[in-house]
Amino acid sequence: MPRITAPTVAEHRATQRRALLDAARAILAEDASRAPGLAEVGARAGLARSSVYQYFRSREDLLYALIEDTFPRWSQRVTDAMEAAATPGARVLAYVDANLRLVAEGEHAVAQALAGIAPGEKLDSTSKVMHEELLGPLVGALADLGLPDPATTAELVNAVVNKAARMIELGAERAPVYARTEELLGPFLMHRPSMPGKG
């Protein structure tokens, strides 16, 4: 029986599962063309393949778990960044910056890899939920600026984010890409009066 390295068995299992998910994410970030096998993930995490089966029944089970782990983490990072901003315009720029930071850290590559190799229905459902979770605060911040159609403006902001993300994925440094994005969006976002009682 493996040595328990945490105060409780539950904490030990949570730590081991976290290590396996992080290992799978790292492998996908290095090679997005294939789903990692359980033995490969176990080796990266320092666990025997037999131990990996205590946490995941199959490669597909591991991919499902990775989807359920990756997308909420992305949403939480963006939401936390927006909530820390003081004004509606700053919340939108925080949305942009947080997304570009995640892309630069390789999270988008992992998400794209999952889109290419994971079963579609599960991924589509989780992607839809994530998109709605991210779009809600963005639309809210734009509405607080008094824009007449914040939902459409949010999609346009996302188009800029997607283009900036693509530039980073192709090798551009995040900081100058974000600086150019802020130059584009900042004057529009930061010099509009907020709606009364907002931000």
Residues 6+ apart with CB under 8 A from 69: 21
Q: What DSSP string runs through 112-164?
A: HHHHHHS-HHHHHHHHHHHHHHHHHHHHHHHHHTT-S-HHHHHHHHHHHHHHH
Residue pLDDT, tens place only, 146-169: 999 999 999 999 999 999 999 998
pLDDT score of 96: 97
Contact (CB, 8 A) for 95 and 138: yes
pLDDT beyond 70 at 197: no
Q: What angle (nearest 5°) sits at the alpha carbon of residue 87, between those of residues 86 and 93?
A: 95
State the Cα–Cα distance between residues 149 and 37, nearest whole angstrom.
Answer: 46
Locus of tokens 């946490």? 55
pLDDT score of 36: 86
State the Cα–Cα distance between residues 179 and 26, nearest whole angstrom.
Answer: 28
Mean pLDDT of the residues in the chain: 85
Residues 6+ apart with CB under 8 A from 160: 96, 181, 184, 185
Reported pTM:
0.75
pLDDT beyond 50 at 44: yes
Contact (CB, 8 A) for 56 and 38: yes
Residue pLDDT, tens place only, 60-98: 888 888 878 877 888 899 999 999 999 999 999 999 999
Q: What angle (nearest 5°) sits at the alpha carbon of residue 168, between those of residues 74 and 191?
A: 75
